[in-house]
Structure 1
Amino acid sequence: MIREEEIILHMLNDFCHHQSSEWFHELDKDSYDQDKLVNILIAQGLGGLASYQLYNKSHLLIQPKILNHMFLQDVFMSVNQADLLKEMTTYFEEEKIPFICMKGSVVRDSYPEPSLRNMGDIDIVIHYEDRFKVDHIMMDLMGCKKMVDNHSVWTYNIKFLTVEVHNHMFYEKLSNDFDYIGYFDGVWDHIKNAEVFGVSSPYLYVPEENYHFLYLMVHTAKHIINKGYGFRAFIDMVMYTKKNELDWDYLKKELKNIKLLSFTQVCFAFCERWFGVTMPLSVPLDEKFYQEISAKVIRDGLFGLENEDNIGAAEAKVYKQGKGSYFVTMLDHIRRRLFPPYEEMQLIPWYKFVDGRPWLLPAAWVYRWGYCLVKKKDESMDKLLRPYKAKDKIEERIGYINHWGL
């Protein structure tokens, strides 16, 4: 582990124990690369948190100024997101639209200073039948611009703020054989009223603590299977389990039911090693796997990057979901890339003309083939042939998923 990574983990260890990191100011400046340290923190979305850890009146001027700027930016975003949610809630109340806040807007209250848990958008869940009312509120009354409409997620933007409106809490198949979409469609049976960003309303809900924890683990698994996840997801686990009185007997049983017990145990083991905390569920970690994942988390940044580590991630996920041999599964994967189904094509902006007109699907395929051949032939051929050209990388990725307990 390089020096900069050691410093970051020491800092995060302090944060999880509610201790400041004043030792940082005594470090020999030649013992680490400040630019490299700052770049890692920015990529991990932890610049503001690091500034909070390093704050000391006598040393404020010698900490990297960009970290202090990121702290102020996080606070600024938090204040504006609170105002946005307050305005939304007023309109939702008038129209009697119930909605559920989830993810960062809920987890942030587990942090010693909520604005330290920065978030790029506000995620809410609504009933599908309320989507037109919500559309009217967001666009006509609040002046937002709709950025995405894919029949299940509507993304609205106003200035520098973003709101994602969902009618499902979860959307994807993971690498194990369980219906997470159907499971989390039951969220409306597991909600309670609570303040979010200091805003409360009889129409504003959050998931019950145990249920939301299960969702956080599924959401983490999704990112790790797809491309990767940064340290923040694991800090969330520590903060959330410390702040809330969770029923671990129930959770252990439910995690086993949804096929994520082994994964959660591995995640908690990393939390213990990285942050020096004691977690309720944990297992011994293979030392080689620990070293590899620690380095990968650093390289991946907050949400996973397109890098050497993640070559074959999509194919490995497909194989884990498949029932047949590698050859048969990958052949079917190539077929789906050549002939994507209507359910996928209708959501892609360039092929919107098929939405509601499935008979136009062949025309969309031809258009897609032509565009790929003319505009990005090499990239398209690489993706098409990757199951065979990068078989070793894909098999390595499959082993990586298995090690995570997925």
Structure 2
Amino acid sequence: MLFNYRVIDNPLSKYKGRVNMNAAQIQLINFLSAAIHDERLDIDQVKKINFKSIIDEAEAHNIKGLVYSAINKNNISKYIDKEQLEQWKKETFFTAVYQIQHIKQISHVLEIFNKEKIPVIVLKGLVIRDIYPKPELRTMCDADILVHKEDLDKVKKQLLKLGYIEYGITKAHIVFEHIKYPPIEVHWFLTYEDFFKKNVLCENEIWKKTMKVKVGGTEALSLSFEDIAVHLCLHMAIHSASSGFGVRQLCDLVLLVEKKGDLIDWSSFVNKIREYGIDKFTMAIFTICRILFNMTVPEELNSIKLVKRELLNLLIDDIFESGVHGNRTLSKMFSNKMAYNSHDKVGNNSWGILKRFIMFVFPPINKLSDRYAYAKKYIILLPIAWIHHFFSGVFSKEYSFFSKIKFLVSTVHISKKRNKILKGLELI
């Protein structure tokens, strides 16, 4: 289905036209826009909606509670199956309770950090949620905080006391998990060289420009609104290259621009995204936010070259296909791995994609798990291990047989499409 849009009195008026979206996606955006803007819907349009499709789309993007809030506000429950509506209502209630408990726990953690005089910057959802009409419906799967690298041992000590355990570490953050509460990601860098040549969000400058916020009643530091905007775009760019991202991240940007845009130095913002090399990607994202949510794009972004409609269509399609974490389907999950390799950027072409696909199906001996130890011991048995590996995947019960067939047929095709997006947006 075609989504009609028109931009008035704005350089983006060049984009008058249509975007390819199916009915459920169009309906989802209409409900989502009403939810984040606290607006009313056209009841005549609601009568024609397939709410099962809306729920499926909302679930894939982890925004069911937000979408339900639009339904509740607009009193259109009579158009929805009662059993379906009751289940949706219960899920929204428990989602809100879970998020409130999450914030209460993070508030407690921050209070301890404050007592120990450990400076902390709270990131992403912990700040953005407060500009939503119903903050408890802006879901978070974890909590992201930024600390000074020299304070890592102090932070770790306090989290271990609270029952958290160290679960994983990267070049930029450590994940701490808890049996009762969502994970906490402790960052000491906001970006790292795998994706960007220069760390424009210089940590020293960030700390100088912080502002005070409250998380569940506890005082903490936040990035400035300008740096939040840059960080949101960087985060989407990283996820776009590595796995993809869903519509929830677009909502974050829309509300930030609409509610805090007058506090942002947009000229400085443009300079930063240019230094990172994500100016074309950022322009595409702002354009999509304008198309889908009628967001006004700051005039300072007019200096950035507009993105072709074909590329916008591909990116919108990828956002919907991705779901909240980029792994909505088996095919999408593996196509992400095939489309881009941050450690081998020269291999991000058609041959590189095919090569990674072949290596996935028939991995080198050092990539095989201990399950195939016999091949590591006797290399002549490697072809048998490959067959074993292939059929283990085919008959695994984790995904349906249909999903596996779809994966085998479509992964390379999807990877090429994603690769085209990344090249077109100059992310590779």
The 3 A distance-change label for structure 1 pair 41 and 265 is same
Amino acid at match of 1:252: V
Are 2:294 and 1:276 aligned? yes
Amino acid at match of 1:226: S
Q: What does residue 143 of structure 2 align with?
A: 122
**Number of equivalenced pairs:** 371
| Structure 2 portions without partners, runs of 5+ | 2-21, 395-406
| Mapped partners of 1:137, 1:325: distance in 2 | 42
* 78-87 vs 258-267, which moves further: 78-87
1:92-107 aligned at under 5 Å gives the runs 92-107=113-128
**Which residue matches 1:300?**
322
Deviations 1:100-141 (A, max 9, x none): 11011111122222223211111112223333332332222x
Match of 1:247 in 2: 265
Do 1:234 and 1:271's aligned partners in 2 also have CA atoms closer than 8 Å?
yes
Root-mean-square deviation (CA, aligned residues, Å) is 4.0
Question: Is 1:316–1:394's contact at 8 Å kept on the other side of the alignment?
Answer: yes
Say whether 1:34 aligns with 2:51: yes
Contact 2:365/2:376 (8 A) holds in 1:
no
State the shift of 1:265 in Å. 0.6
* Structure 1 unmatched runs, 5+: 352-362
Report Cα offsets for 1:321-359 as digits up to 9, x if no partner. Answer: 53479599789989998598xxxx9xxxx99xxxxxxxx
Distance 2:411 2:107 in 1: 49
The answer for the alignment partner of 1:357 in structure 2 is none
Match of 2:132 among 111, 114, 130: 111
Distance 2:183 2:411 in 1: 37
After superposition, what is the alpha-carbon deviation per residue over 1:203-262, rounded to whole angstroms, capped at 9, x for unaligned? x31112211211111100111112211111111111011122211111112211111111
Q: Could you tell me whether the CA contact under 8 Å between 2:102 and 2:181 is conserved in 1?
A: no
State how far apart, in whole Å, the 2-side matches of 1:91 and 1:98 are: 11
2:402 counterpart residue number: none
Change (3 A) 1:272 1:146: same
The CA distance in 2 between the partners of 1:132 and 1:183, in whole Å, is 23
The equivalent residue for 1:266 is 284
CA distance in 2, matches of 1:97, 1:395: 46
The 3-state SS of whatever aligns with 1:96 is coil
CA distance in 2, matches of 1:295, 1:17: 23
- C-alpha displacement at 1:186, in angstroms? 4.2
Q: Secondary structure at the match of 1:195?
A: strand
Could you say if the C-alpha distance between residues 375 and 121 of structure 1 is closer, same or farther in structure 2, counting changes exceeding 3 Å?
farther
Counterpart code for 1:251: F
- State percent identity of aligned pairs: 19
Work out the CA distance in 2 between the residues paired with 1:319 and 1:80: 37
**What does residue 359 of structure 1 align with?**
none
Does residue 189 of the first structure (1) align with residue 202 of the second (2)? no
- Name the CA distance, whole Å, in 2 between partners of 1:62 and 1:293: 32
2:237 corresponds to 1:221: yes
SS in 2 for 1:196: strand
Q: Which amino acid counterpart does residue 290 of structure 2 have in structure 1?
A: E
Q: Which amino acid aligns with 1:295?
A: D
Q: Counterpart of 1:313 in structure 2: which amino acid? A: N
Tell me the TM-score normalised to structure 1 length: 0.76
Structure 1 range deviating more: 322-331 or 93-102: 322-331
Deviations 1:150-173 (A, max 9, x none): 574132214143222222223462
The residue that corresponds to 1:178 in the other structure is: 197
Return 247-256 or 122-131, whichever deviates more. 122-131
Using the TM superposition, name which of 322-331 and 243-252 deviates more.
322-331
Q: What is the CA deviation profile of residues 59-116 of structure 1, one whole-angstrom value per residue up to 9, with x for unaligned ones?
A: 5576523332333233212321222122112221232211111011111122222223
Secondary structure of the residue aligned to 2:38 is: coil
Equivalent-residue separation in structure 2 for 1:290 and 1:12 (angstroms): 20
SS in 1 for 2:340: helix
Whichever residue aligns with residue 207 of structure 2, its letter is D
Letter in 2 for 1:304: G
> Structure 1 residue 377 and structure 2 residue 381: aligned?
no
Aligned residue for 1:54?
A: 71
Give how far 1:400 is off.
1.5
Q: Counterpart of 1:293 in 2: which secondary structure?
A: helix
- CA contact under 8 A between 2:258 and 2:295: conserved in structure 1? no
Offset, 1:144? 3.0
Does residue 147 (structure 1) correspond to residue 167 (structure 2)? The answer is: yes
Other structure's SS at 2:215 match: coil
Distance 1:158 1:40 in 2: 29
The one-letter amino acid paired with 1:268 is: F
1:322 maps to amino acid? K
2:251 counterpart residue number: 235
Distance 1:43 1:128, change over 3 A: same
TM-score by length of 2: 0.73
Tell me if the contact between 2:165 and 2:177 (Cα under 8 Å) persists in the aligned partners: yes
Residue in 1 aligned with 2:88?
67
Q: Is the 8 A contact 1:312 1:393 kept in 2?
A: yes
Residue 90 of structure 1: aligned partner: 111
Q: Does 1:316 align with 2:339?
A: yes
The corresponding residue for 1:81 is: 102
What CA distance in whole angstroms lies between the structure 1 residues aligned with 2:60 and 2:241?
Answer: 19
